[in-house]
Amino acid sequence: MNTLSYIVHVMSDVTQKLEEILKEEFAKFDPAALQYLEQLLAENEPAVRKIVQNALDEPISQETDKRLQKPLLPKPYQPRPPP
């Protein structure tokens, strides 16, 4: 498998997992709240697209970039006495 095929495969897996997570989370919403969100998005689609695009276009600060480059290491386990 070449690099491009691998990247496409991984992105497909990530997209599928994200869709599953979103479905699970939206299932927890109140139906009236979901209907309101759908209506809000339908009425304001251009504005919503602009907000999302602005968020995606915004550069990542150096502080955040440094934090993201550090691996997330688990903290050492420190047992506590029962309460």
| Per-residue confidence (pLDDT) for residue 47, from 0 to 100 | 87
| Per-residue confidence (pLDDT) for residue 71, from 0 to 100 | 66
| Per-residue confidence (pLDDT) for residue 23, from 0 to 100 | 87
> Cβ distance 42 to 35 under 8 Å?
no
Amino acid (1-letter code) at residue 65: D
> Distance between CA atoms of 1 and 4, rounded to whole angstroms?
8
| Per-residue confidence (pLDDT) for residue 1, from 0 to 100 | 60
Q: How many CB atoms lie within 10 A of CB 48?
A: 13
pLDDT digits (tens, 9 = 90+) for 41-57: 888 888 888 887 888 88
pLDDT digits (tens, 9 = 90+) for 8-34: 777 888 888 888 888 888 888 888 888
| Per-residue confidence (pLDDT) for residue 52, from 0 to 100 | 79
